[in-house]
Amino acid sequence: APLEVGQLVAEVVDHFRHAFERPFSVEVPPDGVWMLGDRDRLEQVLVNLLENAHKYSPAGAPIAVRVERTGEAARIQVQDHGIGIPGADQAQVFQRFYRARNVSHRNFGGLGLGLFISHSIVKMHGGSLALCSREGEGSTFTLDLPRMAAHEVRRLPRRVLVLDEDRGQEASA
């Protein structure tokens, strides 16, 4: 179904703001970025990325989330200033049960499934998920999802498009 990415991201980040004492910032384009997708699954991807950013960052370190429109994509970036991922592990973190060498069950719990699941959901949507990270400095995950073109958005029913006055409410209300 059609969904506005900025609104979805803002909602998920708000949940994290309420759950954790940490500065979360979110930047979304004011005029919306639309895509076709499975809202619940995409929400799960965002939750996984934000959970990681939170889990692998020291208390109080800020997490920044940005949504932007690129040529063909709705781009979502989640940036943290946490432990980072060693270069030698970066290519493998999307594999099932893979955990980087700088994490252990003693310091950070986890199964190594979040990114594997997220990556499959993103692929199902025809998108990509990439990371840029430096051990000891932090990580940025970049999620690109095929977005709707302006002329496709214009063809959406009006009731779907009503969202801007009331971000945070269902776009289709």
Residues in contact with ligand ATP by the rule CB under 6 A? 48, 52-53, 56, 80, 82-85, 93, 98-100, 103, 110-116, 139
Count of CB atoms situated within 10 Å of the CB of 152: 13
Q: How far is the CB of 11 from ligand ATP (least distance, A)?
A: 21
* Closer by beta carbon to ligand ATP, 115 or else 153: 115
Question: Do the bridges between strand 73-80 and strand 63-69 make them parallel or antiparallel, or are there none, so unpaired?
Answer: antiparallel
The interface partner of residue 143, options being Mg ion, ligand ATP, none and the CB cut-off 5 to 8 Å by kind, is: none
- The site partner of 33 among Mg ion, ligand ATP, none (C-beta below 5 to 8 Å per kind) is none
Question: Helices H, strands E: what count in the chain?
Answer: 5, 7
Q: Compute the distance between CA of residue 22 and CA of residue 126 in angstroms, rounded to an integer.
A: 32
Q: Give the residue closest to Mg ion by C-beta.
A: 114
| φ/ψ of residue 132, rounded to 5 | -135, 120
82 belongs to the binding site for Mg ion (CB under 5 A): no
Beta carbons of 129 and 142 less than 8 angstroms apart: yes
Q: Does 84 bind Mg ion (CB under 5 A)?
A: no
**What residue ranges bind Mg ion (CB under 5 A)?**
52, 114
